[in-house]
Amino acid sequence: MNTGRRLIEFKGVRKVYGKGTASMQALRGVDLAIDEGEFVAIMGPSGSGKSTSMNILGCLDTPTSGLYSFKGVDVGKLDRTQRALLRRYYQGFVFQGFNLLNRTSALENVELPLIYRGTQARQRREQALNALETVGLKGWESHTPGELSGGQQQRVAIARAIVTKPAVLLADEPTGNLDTARSREIMELLNTLNSTDGITIIMITHEPDMAAYAKRVIHFRDGLVETDKQNGRAD
């Protein structure tokens, strides 16, 4: 479900860590564009620049030079507080390690981003319940992470990421801690969120089987985009 409206753009993005002889170029002038409604997988070997790119996309890091544009806004001109607000209101995050609060129920975990937004308790609960139902966890609201399987924990994490209705879902190795069957369940869920709900998804993965669910695959190597191809996958 590609709307054709530009969501994200990198123009000549470079990222250098350190100075002088100790400096290391993580990104060497990356150009890429992602439209609303796309499902993009980012792949590449260790040190290729994919994780650095994801950190910049998620406003957790800033380019040394070049342009990062999000919904037409030059993110490089935003201060730290403004970048935090961009993350809070426009981006959802899913991690390999789930990052759930262990002694807190699934419902309370999903409510967390809404608490940061200042959403009222009744509305917060309603939105969290809807998000859990969307990921197939209706009836599991009171369970803590320790009472859930790995696949269910990742579903809670996805519900938490989408409860704010973000413009983009950034998923960093979302199946990395799951077995093959649970990995496929999560990828089918992400596919549905993209194709049915229109959520833009950008996913880092090292697994070709998981990347096959995306409609577009970008390969990084040595701090540059090596290939950028449509997957030709039918919805």
CATH number for position 54: 3.40.50.300
Would you say residue 235 lies in a domain?
A: no
DSSP states along 153-208: HHHHHHHHHHTT--SEEEEESTTTTS-HHHHHHHHHHHHHHHHTT--EEEEE-S-H
Would you say residue 160 lies in a domain?
A: yes
Would you say residue 1 lies in a domain?
A: no
Would you say residue 225 lies in a domain?
A: yes
Would you say residue 157 lies in a domain?
A: yes
- Which pLDDT value is given to residue 2? 62
Would you say residue 208 lies in a domain?
A: yes
Domain of 178 in residue numbering reads as: 6-230
Would you say residue 27 lies in a domain?
A: yes
- Which pLDDT value is given to residue 1? 55
- Which pLDDT value is given to residue 233? 55
Q: In what order do the strands lie in the sheet with 65-70?
A: 24-35, 6-17, 65-70, 73-74
Element (DSSP H or E) covering residue 227: strand 224-230
Q: What is the pLDDT along the chain (235 residues), one digit of tens a residue?
A: 566 799 999 999 999 998 888 889 999 999 999 999 999 999 999 999 999 999 999 999 999 999 999 999 999 999 999 999 999 999 999 988 888 999 999 999 999 999 988 899 999 999 999 999 999 999 999 999 999 999 999 999 999 999 999 999 999 999 988 899 999 999 999 999 999 999 999 999 999 999 999 999 999 999 999 999 998 654 4
Would you say residue 46 lies in a domain?
A: yes
User: Residue 142 CB: number of other CB atoms within 10 A?
Assistant: 10
- Which pLDDT value is given to residue 234? 45
Number of domains in the chain: 1
